[in-house]
Structure 1
């Protein structure tokens, strides 16, 4: 058996119904910047990035048929902290966006919101803890940060797979080095 080749995941391309609406939404909501656009073999494409070292992290390409259901489980956007997760939650409420879930996964605090074409987005921040996934704990954003952290820490410490996030990162690094 040959040894696996290594590659780094860098971006995703998504067929959309309305490229301009999607570009407007993702630039407004996440601060992504249009880095390029043009017409390719399948239609108009617009490239977006929030990282100056990446030409694009998302490319939206015209071609999704109107009325078709999204096949995307989620597009995940990491934020710095729980107050920023709260701010996105408030914005989603203020704009009347569909919020599909509000959860702690033990290793993160997450809200799930639908974009203009019904694709689910996760906006999350990390916690200092790790537990084996999937985990779905209630997350009540009306509580204080301190109360949320205390409740989730108690729950994850009771999980037999619990460890500190930095310990998991070290183990994952060793696993991926092989």
Structure 2
């Protein structure tokens, strides 16, 4: 991604580089406008203030290499350092890693931990891993799990890994299994 000189003060023009091709515009903006509330990002998309190649787009628009994204002036609140995650939780998450290489981390996410901060939460798994791996500048969630759900969670360490993993999740490249622990008796018929 390259930035060109703003045409008006505060307006950004971003050229999409090939590694961001296929990413949804809403996720692209969320990653670039750190600290801006998600509701504001969706509002500027809805109002047509964000343009791609001079045209209005929907939040689900998938970027293409070479697209020029016009981002309106957005006031980013001053942010202090990220809220430090408790050392005990960092150790628990580090111990939950089941696989790691130079492009991917797979953890067995414990139940009760959100995958990302927001909605009143200061941090989640992704923020914790950004503290655990400060040199990995491109950490991104590949998918999500509900806060109360445990299970394997993939975190891409390189942006170039995301499209491959998303394609595998959409197709037959990943075997997904869901299990539930139930207490009591199941009804034998559903009416």
Same fold (TM over 0.5): no
Identify the TM-score tier after normalising by the shorter chain: under 0.3
